[in-house]
Amino acid sequence: MLIIPVKEGENIERALKKFKKKFDRTGTMRELRYRQEYVKPSIERREAKKKAVYKNTLRQREE
């Protein structure tokens, strides 16, 4: 559970901003989206390899 201490007279917008930042850091939404559908381990590995190759080509272009 997230707890955001709000000081006396503090703007509600600032408290909301703190809440959103804390919520993003927990990664709750990312995990929820990830769990919505099952991805086979072989497909996960394949995607990870594709991503690594892509990053490697970007690095080589920089040099």
- Domain boundaries along the sequence of the chain: 12-62
Band of residue 45 on the pLDDT scale cut at 50, 70, 90: very high
Specify the pLDDT at position 20: 93
Band of residue 48 on the pLDDT scale cut at 50, 70, 90: very high
How far apart are alpha carbons 38 and 61 in whole angstroms?
A: 35
Q: State both tokens at 17.
A: 């901003």
- Determine the average pLDDT of the residues in 16-33: 93
3-state helix/strand/coil string of 47-61:
HHHHHHHHHHHHHHH
- Determine the average pLDDT of the residues in 18-45: 94
